Amino acid sequence: MSKERVSNQATPAMAVGTPRTSSTGEKASPAGQASKGAWTHDRIAQLAYELYEKRGRQEGRALEDWLNAERNLGV
């Protein structure tokens, strides 16, 4: 009886250095994607906090505030 070793390592979805493309097929820089995503997240968070303050800082409605902020920003 011989025992075989099986590797359970996952295969990477994209190889390092593979150019990324946008939904329109244009090449996009990873730095540009990260900064836009970070900007969007920060703006949503800021607006959600403003909504929280306008409601008198009532706890327990963070998700509602976040979703309303996304809707208001058209995200």
- pLDDT tens by residue, the chain, 75 residues: 555 555 444 444 434 444 444 444 545 455 666 788 899 999 999 999 999 999 999 999 999 999 999 999 998
pLDDT at 44: 97
Considering the domain boundaries, does residue 63 fall inside one? yes
Of residues 34, 71, 69, 73, the one with CA closest to residue 55: 69
pLDDT recorded at residue 2: 56
Q: How far is CA 54 from CA 41, 44, 62, 63, in A?
A: 20, 15, 13, 15
Q: Is-contact 27 35, C-beta < 8 A?
A: no
12 domain-assigned? no
Domain count, the chain: 1
Q: What is d(CA 39, CA 21) in angstroms, rounded to the nearest whole number?
A: 20
Question: Is residue 51 situated within a structural domain?
Answer: yes
Q: In this structure, is residue 50 part of a structural domain?
A: yes
21 lies in some domain: no
Provide the residue range defining the domain that includes 73.
44-75
